[in-house]
Amino acid sequence: MKPNPLSRFLLVFVFAATMAGGASAQTKDPMPSWSNGVNKSAIVAFVTAVTKEGGDAFVPVADRIATFDLDGTLLVEQPLPVVMEFANKYVEEVAQANPNLQTQPYRAMREGDQTYLNANYMQVLTSAGIGLNEDDYRQRVKAFSETARHPRFNTPYVNLFYAPMRELVAYLRANDFKVYILSGSSQGFVRGIAKGPIGLPNAQMIGTQLVLEYQGDGFTRSGAFRDLATVGAGKPLIIEYQIGQKPIFSFGNSSGDQAMFEYTTSNKLHKNLSLWLEHDDAAREYAYDSGVKALPGLLKVSMKNDFAKLFDDE
């Protein structure tokens, strides 16, 4: 078909409109809460390279898999991982509502027996939600995250997702990455707390799974973990089971993420980037060592230097 003058005019019009939109999108900083520096530049350079069609490092959309740890990476994990705060509150409520309940950990919780509770924190974790419907459990986690307050920041936990990390997730998704959370915390907890602030579908929020009982239209939580904890080698394993592709991007903060870093940086098919967040900012947050070991292809992000601001409500 030969273009007539009208269609040529329309083409120019559409082209001009597209270019204007493109330029505007480029000039807007997708990660304003990051300080300018080598790490922000490395992230932007990586995303630019793997999304440039025809470029040497181009990665097809189907292979743009990114995996993030939750506690200490997307969300504050001090003085306690939030899943532990939730479990403590849950078990305490059950203990108070059933003053004759003598089984553990309810008795220890009622009596304030910290020695028992510290030695048996896994029992506290798995007790929080036994017998609950999984949907109801997620709703309770969500309600907790919107009402219970962090002891230091005095704001609901849902506000303690790091703004720079939320921007990074959004930036990757805007560039057609499929983003997953891989957390050692229980999967129902991850889905309950992260859905609002991070906005991923449940299929992309993975955590350590409990044995569930199928009830015809839903699932009841047991007090037992399934076979695999989503930490250490459990992260690559759950990637293979539930994603089935090697990531090109990963972000964590602790030794529990080391195998995820190792697996991602072993990607020989595609350019890849891994980062870990060092908590080195006692003034604004906390300073602690999480045992990450250096690895080629793994960059260290400093909260103190790379995060211009920490939270959205600052």
Asked whether the beta carbons of 63 and 51 are under 8 A apart, the reply is no
Give exposure, 144-180, as e/b (b: 16+ Cβ within 10 Å).
bbeeeebeeeeeebbbbbbbbbbbbbebbbeeebbbb
Task: Tell me how far, at minimum, the Cβ of 298 lies from a copy of itself, in Å.
Answer: 14
In the bound state with a copy of itself, the residue whose beta carbon lies nearer, of 33 and 264, is: 264
Task: Tell me how far, at minimum, the Cβ of 24 lies from a copy of itself, in Å.
Answer: 16
111 binds a copy of itself (CB under 8 A): no
CA distances (Å), origin 1, targets 4, 13, 262: 9, 19, 54
263 binds a copy of itself (CB under 8 A): yes
Task: Tell me how far, at minimum, the Cβ of 243 lies from a copy of itself, in Å.
Answer: 5
| Residue ranges in 177-196 that form contacts with a copy of itself under rule CB under 8 A | 187, 191
Give exposure, 41-75, as e/b (b: 16+ Cβ within 10 Å).
eebeebbeebbeeeeeeebeeebbbbbbbbbbbbb
From 107, 152, 226, 284, residue interacting with a copy of itself (rule: CB under 8 A) = 226
Where does the chain show beta strands of DSSP type E?
65-68, 178-186, 205-208, 210-214, 219-225, 249-252, 273-280, 287-288, 298-302
Task: Tell me how far, at minimum, the Cβ of 209 lies from a copy of itself, in Å.
Answer: 6
16 binds a copy of itself (CB under 8 A): no
Listed ranges 88-96, 157-165, 211-219, 272-280: which one lies at the site for a copy of itself (CB under 8 A): 211-219
Question: Total residues at the site for a copy of itself (CB under 8 A)?
Answer: 32
In the bound state with a copy of itself, the residue whose beta carbon lies nearer, of 16 and 282, is: 16
What would you report as the CA-atom Rg of the chain, rounded to the nearest whole angstrom? 22
**From CA 3, how far away is CA 255, in angstroms rounded?**
61
From 259, 273, 292, 301, residue interacting with a copy of itself (rule: CB under 8 A) = 259
Nearest residue to 87 via CA among 105, 63, 67, 64: 105
Listed ranges 23-31, 120-128, 155-163, 226-234: which one lies at the site for a copy of itself (CB under 8 A): 226-234
Task: Tell me how far, at minimum, the Cβ of 1 lies from a copy of itself, in Å.
Answer: 14
**Side-chain-side CA neighbours of residue 254 (13 Å):** 21
40 binds a copy of itself (CB under 8 A): no
Residues making contact with a copy of itself (CB under 8 A):
10, 13, 62, 134, 187, 191, 201-203, 205, 209, 212, 214, 216-217, 219, 226-227, 233, 236-237, 240-245, 259, 262-263, 266, 268
